[in-house]
Structure 1
Amino acid sequence: MLDPLTIGVLAIVAMLLLSIAGVPVGIAMASVGVAGLWMTGGAAFALNTLMNLPFSMASDYNFVVIPMFVLMGAIASSSGITQELFGFSNLLLRSRRGALYQATILASAGFAAISGSTLVNAALFTRIALTEMLRLGYDRAFSAGCIAAAGTIAALIPPSISFVIYGLLTGESVAELLIAGVVPGLITTAAYMIGTAFYVRFRKDVAPPPQPRAGLKEIGRSALALWATFLLAGLVIGGIYLGFTTPSGAGALGATGALVIALFRRRLSGAELANCLRSAAGVTAALFVVIIGGLMFTRFFLVAGTVTSATDLLQSFELSPIVFMLLLVAIFVVLGMFMDPLAMQVMTLPFVYPLVTALGFNGIWFGVIMVKLVELAVLSPPVGMNLFAVIGASEGKVTLAEIYRGILPFIVIEALVLALLLAFPELSLWLPNQMFAH
């Protein structure tokens, strides 16, 4: 009889081999999980889990926040909000060298406040910004890397699907997690903008000379068009922060607000609304398949005793909390290079989270660190999902080698911001600690 840790290692290898063979990661995890439950708990137990676990998860009201956030982003992008954000950012910054890089970062951060998906952000801004960047003579590799990196800001600034999933898997307050991401999201945005400013200063070949400064009247007209963005962000973030609504309620309010704005502007036809609904349903279904598959996989780990054995092994090393956290970060960075980040969260949190909190770390703070690691994962070659989102949306304008080269400066920036958040937990905890204070 194999020991629990060996069983766990073999299960992970089997799951990875299925994924490499082309099986969707959610199906791969579910298949290995059910097979493992069958071998360890018997056929009746495995079938009972297969019937009950997916239904209990999918029927949980708390998960309704995911399709609502996805739908809000889909409708908002169809109503022209992304173009308005990019246009305003470009007018504001175009007198600086590398203005389109910074405009993309700033606009992506603005859209992150009404869209919880990094992949959607990356794909949208590829279609909006990349052609203009290449037309004006911006470096192809750095342009693609900038768009992919800017998309990750949506993982931190609410409404963030990554925080919702972390909260639902760990039992931490989803509302506090969403608010905890605001300051780190703003720090990341500032770090990207400062980093690109320095980069284009020392590498003048990656950006053309700056354009003439835009007039104040032109900037003002463009700024007035951003009312829809501020309204939606205020409804969602303000509603959660002030305690007027739950995250699920904020998602429904945001989706309804986006629909009303799109209809008011007459920018959403019946066919486009149907596409938004189909897109939201498709993204939600894909997320749920990964979540259900991951829960099947971790249920097998629990039954086989892998979680208990791994926990005991780590505790036997008697590592200091700081060393343990640094080791955990290193493991997640390596995992993120080869795994779907959502699958990484679902697989590891059931036994990592109890260890982290037992060592005295704050669960909300660790949620921010976890989401930051998810950001790194979607940017890290060879399997960075944002990189492939940009390549797909570029329609052949960017190669894999180019985006691998262009993303490296942003991975360095991400690592520096991660180190800052690890060293100063209050950057993540100050704002949620002020919630409901009024």
Structure 2
Amino acid sequence: MSPVLQGCLTLAAILLLIGLRLPVGLALGVAAFIGTAALLPLPAAISVMARVPYEFSASWEFSAVPLFLLMGNVAWRAGMTDGLFRMAELGLARLPGGLAVATNFAAAGFGAASGSSLATTVSMGRIAIPEMLRAGYHPSLATAVCACAGTLAALIPPSIPLIVYGILAEQSVAKLFFAGIVPGLLTALAYTVMIVLRCRFNPALAPRVEVKAAPGEWRHLLTTSWPLPLLALVVLGGIYGGWFSPIEAGGIGALASIAFAALQGRMGPRRLWQVCLDAARTTAAILFIAIGAFMLTRYMTLTGLPAAVATGVAALDLPPVLMMAAMAVVFLVLGMFLDPFGVMLISISVLLPLFERMGYDLIWVGIIVVKYIEIGLMTPPVGLNVFAVKSIAPGIGLPTIFRGALWFLLAEAVVMVLLLGFPDLTLWLPAQLL
């Protein structure tokens, strides 16, 4: 059997193992080791694979992941999102679907501190869903906006998926951060337009509500909500100003978030311990999958499958638009069954050489890949963000949430057409700033 064919069979075996509910990281690592042992003598296979866990876990770039997760967890546990949502609610409630629009923009704001789609979804859902249901909003809109707006955290920096992609593709994390800003804001705008138009033509979806600020409420909100925008300013401003790297920004952001929460009396020793435990658990889960993916990447290099795929596709001489459409199908199908990091880590090991061979800018490719895998968070049957919303709104069925998410997928289709058709929307900002 040729190494390329063996690589194809290994990929099929991985999908089968994941379908049998084997953890993604274990499926990747076991399949990669067995495949390597079939190509090389067993001592050589052990030598090759034994170094991978240490090489990845000791990566300086990966240290940003637990730091940004810690920063987001502190902001969430300290209740910094409560005031953010209330400010958006007071400012936007008069629009058609105003509470949903407020949730959308509050999620974008919280995404600038958390970097995690699931954390943003759960945090905003706990605040916004009860508020919208009390106001008479249709359950499909109230739940879907939280599930879908949570994905904005994957693009608006700091973004955990962009850090992982930067490590895999050996690209500048700082450039990826700034490249994600315009697509993230464009997605938030597309969601807003869709919500307003739907609610304008179907007022029953979202009855108009009168939201008035209590005397002195704005002053109170400003004094309690200032940490989130300041955190985003510290992280992005420090990177742009060249004062510290994205990895150092994670440490400074985590320390600043703890200090801000302590100043507000919202971060005692017990809560800080729980926050650190949550960040450690999430980091361990990401690390476990990433190590398995790096083992798979090392094995794929031995088989020559990525180079064969790149050569074969390049020989077809497909137009770039058709090529990216085919990539969209691949990512969306994988996203229906695998978690986002599983999709990224499996696909990049095979497709990255293809993107390089075709001359695509890998910063732009990173934003497109992250967009695709985040869209997978909204699509059945996995739809992790949808399941997260279901866990905090147990009285609302999954079909209802998925039906609401379909409208957001239409908005995503418009955004993807713009990003694919006009790469400068993604690349202009990092070119100006870095």
By how many angstroms is 1:353 displaced? 2.2
Change in 2 beyond 3 A, CA 1:364/1:262: same
Partner of 2:350: 351
Change in 2 beyond 3 A, CA 1:415/1:74: same
The alignment status of 1:381 with 2:380, answered yes or no, reads: yes
- Give 1:400's match in structure 2, choosing from 376, 398, 402: 398
Partner of 1:42: 41
Aligned residue identity for 2:73: A
What whole-Å deviation, never above 9, does each CA across 1:35-80 have from its counterpart, x for those lacking one? 1111122311222233210001101111110000000000111121
By how many angstroms is 1:384 displaced? 1.4
Please tell me whether the aligned partners of residues 84 and 225 of structure 1 are also in contact (alpha carbons under 8 angstroms).
yes
In 2: Cα distance, 1:407 partner to 1:401 partner: 10
Partner of 2:287: 288
Aligned residue identity for 1:29: L
What whole-Å deviation, never above 9, does each CA across 1:233-264 have from its counterpart, x for those lacking one? 01111111222110001000100000000111
Change in 2 beyond 3 A, CA 1:129/1:304: same
% of aligned pairs identical?
Answer: 37
Task: Note the 1:358-377 alignment, pairs <5 A.
Answer: 358-377=357-376
What's the C-alpha RMSD, in Å, of the aligned pairs? 1.7
By how many angstroms is 1:212 displaced? 4.5
Task: Note the 1:7-18 alignment, pairs <5 A.
Answer: 7-18=6-17
Partner of 1:151: 150
In 2: Cα distance, 1:383 partner to 1:217 partner: 45
Partner of 2:165: 166
Partner of 2:416: 418
What whole-Å deviation, never above 9, does each CA across 1:307-334 have from its counterpart, x for those lacking one? 2222222122122333222222222122
In 1: Cα distance, 2:142 partner to 2:39 partner: 50
Report the TM-score when normalising by structure 1. Answer: 0.95
Q: Could you tell which deviates more after superposition, 247-256 or 366-375?
A: 366-375
Secondary structure, aligned partner of 2:255? helix
Task: Note the 1:173-252 alignment, pairs <5 A.
Answer: 173-214=172-213, 218-219=217-218, 221-252=220-251
What whole-Å deviation, never above 9, does each CA across 1:345-371 have from its counterpart, x for those lacking one? 112223322322332221111111111
By how many angstroms is 1:155 displaced? 0.4
Task: Note the 1:123-142 alignment, pairs <5 A.
Answer: 123-142=122-141
Secondary structure, aligned partner of 1:113? helix
Secondary structure, aligned partner of 2:113? coil
Partner of 2:321: 322
Aligned residue identity for 1:428: T
What whole-Å deviation, never above 9, does each CA across 1:105-133 have from its counterpart, x for those lacking one? 01100001111100111111121111222
In 2: Cα distance, 1:335 partner to 1:19 partner: 11
Secondary structure, aligned partner of 1:55? helix
By how many angstroms is 1:19 displaced? 1.6
Task: Note the 1:5-84 alignment, pairs <5 A.
Answer: 5-84=4-83
Aligned residue identity for 2:418: L
By how many angstroms is 1:17 displaced? 2.0
Aligned residue identity for 1:345: M
Aligned residue identity for 2:135: L
What whole-Å deviation, never above 9, does each CA across 1:154-213 have from its counterpart, x for those lacking one? 000000011111111111111110111111111111111111001111222211222255
Please tell me whether the aligned partners of residues 95 and 213 of structure 1 are also in contact (alpha carbons under 8 angstroms).
no
The alignment status of 1:339 with 2:328, answered yes or no, reads: no
In 1: Cα distance, 2:161 partner to 2:76 partner: 20
By how many angstroms is 1:221 displaced? 4.3
**What stretches of structure 1 of length at least 5 have no aligned partner?**
none
In 2: Cα distance, 1:294 partner to 1:67 partner: 19
Number of aligned pairs?
A: 434
Q: Could you tell which deviates more after superposition, 72-81 or 213-222?
A: 213-222
Aligned residue identity for 2:47: N
By how many angstroms is 1:342 displaced? 0.9
Aligned residue identity for 1:376: I
In 1: Cα distance, 2:297 partner to 2:167 partner: 15
